[in-house]
Structure formats: structure tokens, C-alpha cells
């Protein structure tokens, strides 16, 4: 008998018919002789409606009260799902994140998991129940309801699988798995049978919407292998696991794109080397997340530094950096550019295959697509292009590496 954790997202429980479909899946898994824990998101659209209600009451709702409000979305889902299982003759109990023993810390609406105390869950599983747990939430040491922010239900499932020492963790979504590129952009994109944690992390951080990066980080830290599957069929999905030698046979595993990017450049810097610390501290204090960072100093000692961020943060970044310009020298300038997108090419096979970068940039040249900033890691190459060119760029690179022919 295996202990299986299954997570279902908002689209998987978006209607009563879909809730019944999930109930049948959980019940079938239990009837095969397994102990089953279902982790469920709010029904599709519910969280957005709750946020809208809060802003109708006040333009600046308290984050503490938002946590109380938003946590009710998942509680609706778990109760309805338990009712459906019971109606089909199964035995199920719903529990909140707090009852599951998920202890959190950090700011409201973006809590972090500190520990999990699974005793209550184990006792209910021992009674033969299918356990239906609210994702996206936990409770602080002070007893306050805490939500986990974007991707919180995935994180809940991975964390519970780790705490319960589950044999299997399955992340059910509305797609068949992780693809070599978004199939809406590249029509012949292929499903990837398996990925390493590092590859999945790079793809998640580069714009792949299948899972949030912090869920994958948690899985890697606690060695939780998981499978991304479609809740609407029984097709095998994509397994994310520890790196195995066979994964290096393919130089490039996938391509991710992220639209809505902007570039900020501080040029003409003649101040001491502390300029980088001053720039990054100012952005951190403004709670602005940046991604690609490129800095260089010319032979005459004049430096420039560029970085990317989401376009929605561009105004805040300008406001945070303008007061620093005088400190960077009389010719320091703040330059910005919006309308960009990032294209990332990912694969652990890059370590043992030469010429990957050459192929990427030759493809861009052949397509006549100008490249802006460039950033590399051991298993990823990221570049910025005009947002209008990113789909053409993704299709061309996908074809250049023959990713439509990927095999299990």
C-alpha cells in the first residue's frame, strides 16, 4: 500500500462536474489500496472574486484580513470535494492548513512554511479516510491564518508529501505535463517525459507557468520526486526528480518565454565600486525583484549596470533610483526600456554539449531578431528580445534544436 499525495488546481475543481471528476480520481486511487491525501486550490476565479470584494470595501485592505478572507476559497473546495466523495460511497475528511499542522512565518499573503506537524493527518489516514487538505494556507506560531502566495497549493502538496514521507506526489493541472515550449506558441512542442529539479527550476523562473519556482526548490531540498499530470485524462505526465545521467543526452530540454519585461540601465557611473550595492539596496527596499544583471567598466573607468524586471515595477524602480544619480557622478544617467520579453533555453545537457550558445545566436541572426541583454548559467542561456519578436524567436530556436522530436 502506497501513500499518495495528489494536488488539484483551481481549473481542475472549477465546476461541480470537475469536482466530481476529481472525487472519482481520488476514490479510484484509494480503492486500489492506497492511502490518499488530496491538496486542493480554490475553485477557478474564486480567489480573484474575493480580492475584488476586499477592494470594494476598501482600496487598501489589511493583509492580515486578506489572509482570513482568501483562505475561505480553499475551504469551499475541500468541503465540496469531500461531499462528492461521500456521495460516491467513499470515506473522506476535509482539513484546513492549520489542522494539517502547516506552521508558517513571514509576511501576510506571502507566508513561508517553517515546519509541518503531521500527527492529525496520520491519525485520520489510519482511520481509512481520504484526506482532503486546503492548499495555499497554514497558521503562524501565534495562531494567525496565513496564506502562502502564488503557487501556494503546489508548495503545500510538496511539503505535505515530504512530511508524510509519501511514496508518490502528483501535481494535477490542466495540461499533460511540461512541454519543450508553450504549445500555444510552438504548435509542435513535445511533452518532456522527465526533468531534473534544476531544469524545472530554471524553466519555472524563466516564465514556464506549470509550477512556481519555490515549490520546485522545496522538492529539491527535501528530495520529493513529483509528476505533473492532466486532471482531465489518464496520460502519463512529466516526472521531476533527481538528475540522472541519461538526462545529459539531450543538450536542450526546453524553451521558456516571459513577456512584460523592462530594462533599466544606470550609465556614466564614475563613483566607487559601492554603486552596485547602493543600486541593489535601493531596489530591495522598494521590494522590487530583478532578474538579469549585466555590469561592466570601460578602460576609462566609467561603468554601467543594466537589469531586468517586470514592466509593472518600472515606475517604482525609477523612483527608487533617481535620488542616487548624483552619488554616481556628474554624467550618470538613468535609462529605461519597456516592451521586452525574455527567452530562455534550458538543459543540463549543455554541460557536455558544445555549441549550444552558437546555435542560439546564429538562429537569432538568421531570423533577423536583435538580441539585447544576455545572461548564462551552467544549464541556461537567457536573452532579451523585443516582445513582438519573442514568439518567432521561440519557434525558430525550438526548430533549431529539433525539440519536436524529443523521446522518452
Please state the φ and ψ torsions of residue 174, each to the nearest 5 degrees. -100, 15
What single string gives the DSSP state of each residue in 336-347?
Answer: EEEEEEEEEEE-
What are the angstrom distances between the C-alpha of 337 and each of 191, 310, 341, 343? Answer: 34, 11, 11, 17
Contact 312, 321 (CB under 8 A): no
pLDDT band at 407 (very low <50, low <70, confident <90, very high): low
pLDDT tens-digit profile of 384-406? 999 999 999 999 999 999 998 76
More confident residue, 248 or 320: 320
Please state the φ and ψ torsions of residue 191, each to the nearest 5 degrees. -70, 135
Please state the φ and ψ torsions of residue 193, each to the nearest 5 degrees. -65, -40
Between CA 353 and CA 72 the distance in angstroms is 50
- The SS3 assignment for 215 reads helix
Q: Which of 9-13, 95-99, 145-149, 301-305 bottoms out in mean pLDDT, i.e. has the lowest?
A: 301-305
Q: What is the mean pLDDT of residues 4-28?
A: 96
Looking up cell 501556494, which residue turns up?
152
Between CA 350 and CA 345 the distance in angstroms is 10
- Counting Cβ atoms within 10 Å, is residue 230 exposed (0-12), middle (13-18) or buried (19+)? middle
Selection from 107, 216, 95, 104 nearest residue 151 by Cα: 216
pLDDT band at 273 (very low <50, low <70, confident <90, very high): low
According to DSSP, the residues that pair with 228 across neighbouring strands are 171, 238
Instruction: Give the helix/strand (H/E) hosting 137.
Output: strand 137-140
Q: What is the predicted pLDDT for the residue at 382?
A: 95
pLDDT tens-digit profile of 294-310? 888 888 888 999 999 99
- The SS3 assignment for 365 reads helix
pLDDT of residue 206 exceeding 80: no
HSE, side-chain direction, 13 A CA sphere, residue 224? 29
pLDDT band at 144 (very low <50, low <70, confident <90, very high): very high
**Residue 91 in grid coordinates:** 470515506
Between CA 222 and CA 240 the distance in angstroms is 13
Please state the φ and ψ torsions of residue 276, each to the nearest 5 degrees. -65, -45
Instruction: Give the helix/strand (H/E) hosting 117.
Output: none
Q: What is the mean pLDDT of residues 104-116?
A: 93
- The SS3 assignment for 42 reads coil
Percentage with pLDDT > 70 across the chain: 99
What are the angstrom distances between the C-alpha of 75 and each of 39, 69, 246, 386, 403? Answer: 11, 11, 42, 42, 41
Cβ contacts of residue 327 below 8 Å, gap of 6+?
271, 275, 278
- The SS3 assignment for 85 reads helix
Greatest Cα pair distance, the chain, in angstroms, is: 78
pLDDT band at 408 (very low <50, low <70, confident <90, very high): very low
What are the angstrom distances between the C-alpha of 156 and each of 100, 103, 162, 201, 226? Answer: 10, 11, 10, 17, 13
Cβ contacts of residue 338 below 8 Å, gap of 6+?
262, 311, 314
Amino acid at each position: 500500500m502506497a501513500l499518495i499525495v495528489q494536488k488539484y488546481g483551481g481549473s481542475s475543481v472549477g465546476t461541480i462536474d470537475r469536482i466530481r471528476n476529481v472525487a472519482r480520481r481520488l476514490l479510484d486511487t484509494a480503492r486500489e489500496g492506497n492511502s490518499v491525501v488530496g491538496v486542493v486550490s480554490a475553485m477557478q476565479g474564486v480567489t480573484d472574486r474575493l480580492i475584488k470584494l476586499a477592494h470594494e470595501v476598501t482600496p487598501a485592505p489589511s493583509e492580515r484580513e486578506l489572509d482570513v478572507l482568501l483562505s475561505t476559497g480553499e475551504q469551499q473546495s475541500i468541503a465540496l470535494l469531500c461531499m462528492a466523495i461521500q456521495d460516491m460511497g467513499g470515506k473522506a475528511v476535509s482539513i484546513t492548513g492549520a489542522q494539517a499542522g502547516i506552521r508558517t512565518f513571514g509576511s501576510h499573503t506571502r507566508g513561508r512554511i517553517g515546519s509541518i506537524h503531521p500527527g492529525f493527518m496520520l491519525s485520520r489516514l489510519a482511520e481509512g479516510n481520504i484526506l482532503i487538505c486546503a492548499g495555499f494556507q497554514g497558521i503562524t506560531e501565534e495562531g494567525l491564518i496565513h496564506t502562502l502566495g502564488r503557487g501556494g497549493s503546489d508548495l503545500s502538496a510538496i511539503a505535505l508529501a515530504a512530511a508524510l514521507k509519501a511514496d508518490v506526489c502528483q501535481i494535477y493541472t490542466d495540461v499533460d505535463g511540461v512541454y519543450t515550449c508553450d504549445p500555444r506558441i510552438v504548435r509542435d512542442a513535445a511533452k518532456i517525459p522527465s526533468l531534473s529539479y534544476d531544469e524545472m527550476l530554471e524553466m519555472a523562473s524563466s516564465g514556464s507557468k506549470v509550477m512556481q519556482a519555490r515549490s520546485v526548490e522545496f522538492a529539491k531540498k527535501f528530495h520529493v520526486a513529483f509528476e505533473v499530470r492532466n486532471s482531465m485524462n489518464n496520460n502519463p505526465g512529466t516526472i521531476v526528480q533527481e538528475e540522472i545521467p541519461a538526462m545529459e543526452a539531450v543538450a536542450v530540454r526546453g524553451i521558456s518565454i516571459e513577456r512584460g519585461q523592462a530594462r533599466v540601465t544606470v550609465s556614466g557611473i564614475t563613483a566607487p565600486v559601492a554603486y552596485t550595492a547602493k543600486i541593489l539596496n535601493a531596489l530591495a527596499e522598494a521590494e522590487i525583484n530583478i532578474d538579469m544583471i549585466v555590469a561592466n567598466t570601460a578602460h576609462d573607468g566609467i561603468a554601467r549596470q543594466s537589469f531586468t524586471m517586470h514592466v509593472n515595477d518600472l515606475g517604482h524602480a525609477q523612483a527608487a533610483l533617481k535620488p542616487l544619480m548624483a552619488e554616481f557622478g556628474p554624467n550618470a544617467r538613468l535609462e529605461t526600456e519597456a516592451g521586452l520579453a525574455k527567452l530562455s533555453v534550458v538543459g543540463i545537457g549543455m554541460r557536455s554539449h558544445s555549441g549550444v550558445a552558437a546555435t542560439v545566436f546564429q538562429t537569432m541572426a538568421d531570423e533577423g531578431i536583435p538580441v539585447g541583454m544576455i545572461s548564462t548559467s551552467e544549464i541556461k542561456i537567457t536573452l532579451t528580445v523585443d516582445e513582438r519578436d519573442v514568439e518567432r524567436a521561440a519557434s525558430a530556436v525550438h526548430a533549431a534544436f529539433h525539440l519536436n522530436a524529443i523521446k522518452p
